Amino acid sequence: MIKVLHLSAHVGGGVGKALSGLVVESAVVSPEISHSFVFFEPQEKPQFLEQITGCGCDVYVVPQPAVLKQLIDVADIVQLEFWNHPLTLQALCCNNLPAMRLLVWCHSSGLYNPVIPTALFSAAERFLFTSPCSFESERVIQLPDDVRDRLGVVSSSGGFDGLPWPAERPGELAMGYFGSLNFAKLHPHYVDFLAAVDKPGLTVRLIGDLTNRDILERQSALIGREGMFEFRGYSTDIAAELKAINVLAYLLNPEHYGTTENALLEAMAVGIVPIVLDNPAERHIIEDNRTGLIVSTPSEFSKAVYWLAKNPLERNKIGKQAAKSVRSKFSVNRMVSSINDHYQQLLLMNKQYIAFADIFGTEPADWFLSCQGNQTYFSSTNVLKPDPESFSIHALFEESKGTIFHFLKYFPNDKRLNQWANMLKSWR
């Protein structure tokens, strides 16, 4: 039996969907591999945790340091589910962890903030991205050949169980968005793109968290489109929500952190036609004019909407092609097969001690800085004011996603974090 120990902050969102899909499929096709999990904070939503425990996986939530060390010691492979979550970095850096065969599965692109510390690439025996777009990072391009040889891509799709194959959708255009509404992810000028569409009575069904609802409603009222958004909130019955739309206006911040984009994949899997911006992650998912439409400006977005509205048969054709593409390219079976190949390669290697504090630092402020693309923005006494028009500025003010405020939530007494947070607040 091969023992794989997963270390993760939690099992929510896209990461949770991917990990639950991994163990459910693995239980069927790879029973010789056992998966166990350590989570560094309690789970807010039980959906994916229940699927994991339902497969018989051992789960440890916020274990004591001695327990964590013992679990790592007996594991054949330690799989770090990496993004810059404060509690993950604390657990790695504040414990003298045993030697391990480390596989990093990275759930953010590293193209923009948060970046991936260069030393982490070298520390891992295998470092797996979740999208090929990560190879466009200058940090990756500049890696020496021996480190680049350890890199790979395994898309973190949780599969499409429960999502029906696309039905005919030849009716009137019905637009929606599925995913996070925080502006580090959603395009901060989302309303401006919609304003370019001169279509009376246009409504957009928003499926997901209600972050920024007030801002979006205020912006739509300012352009005379009050009531344009239908806020549906978070739902576990995604199939039912997606039945109501046939076009996905999936316009993301050009400097977003995402990779596999499970929300986009699920919509495509049921035959919904996506309109996306020409961003790195989206370009690796969508083939323009075949499985979706790629645009760059509000004017191009407007033209795409008009074309889809006037050509329902073509829209239906693209939707079917989108479903066929993602169900093949991002199947759970392919994900499990790919990651199992990396497990087999890792087993040929010896365990290594990894000094995580040398990679990320020894204090919470250091851990935060380690994943900032330009650390000179932050000093012991100051924060350089960013360009207010920069797309990256929105990521600075989020309450989660590895921002200063996210770190401060867990480490409220850190002096440098408090200084930086107060400086950022003064700019709002």
pLDDT tens sequence across 260-296: 999 999 999 999 999 999 999 999 999 999 999 999 9
* pLDDT reading at 45 higher than 90: no
Provide the Cα torsion 372, 415, 426, 115; round to 10°.
10
In this predicted structure, what is the pLDDT of residue 317?
96
* pLDDT reading at 13 higher than 90: no
Choose the CATH number for 175-329 among 3.40.50.2000, 3.40.50.1980, 3.40.50.11260, 3.10.20.90. Answer: 3.40.50.2000
Mean pLDDT, the chain, rounded, equals 93
Between residues 14 and 342, which one has the greater pLDDT? 342
Assess whether the region 2-159+332-360 and the region 175-329 belong to the same CATH fold.
yes
Q: What are the structural domain ranges in the chain?
A: 2-159+332-360, 175-329, 390-427
Cis peptide before 114 (omega within 30 of 0): yes
In this predicted structure, what is the pLDDT of residue 220?
94
Q: Are 213 and 231 in contact (CB under 8 A)?
A: yes
* pLDDT reading at 370 higher than 80: yes
In this predicted structure, what is the pLDDT of residue 395?
80
55: pLDDT confidence band, cut at 50, 70 and 90?
Answer: very high
In this predicted structure, what is the pLDDT of residue 88?
98
Segment 205-221 mean pLDDT: 93
Segment 388-406 mean pLDDT: 82
Segment 329-340 mean pLDDT: 96
In this predicted structure, what is the pLDDT of residue 271?
96
Q: Residue 308, Cα to own-chain centre: how many angstroms?
A: 28
Segment 15-35 mean pLDDT: 94
Segment 308-315 mean pLDDT: 96
* pLDDT reading at 94 higher than 90: yes
Segment 155-159 mean pLDDT: 89
Residue from 213, 202, 157 nearest 180 by CA = 213
Pairing state between β 151-153 and 77-82: unpaired
Q: Are 322 and 274 in contact (CB under 8 A)?
A: yes
At 406, list the tokens. 């996210």
Q: What is the spatial distance between Cα 301 and Cα 148, in angstroms, rounded to a whole number? A: 37
In this predicted structure, what is the pLDDT of residue 381?
66
Q: What is the CATH number of domain 2-159+332-360?
A: 3.40.50.2000
Q: What is the spatial distance between Cα 179 and Cα 423, in angstroms, rounded to a whole number? A: 30
Give the pTM: 0.94
396: pLDDT confidence band, cut at 50, 70 and 90?
Answer: confident
In this predicted structure, what is the pLDDT of residue 384?
67
In this predicted structure, what is the pLDDT of residue 375?
78
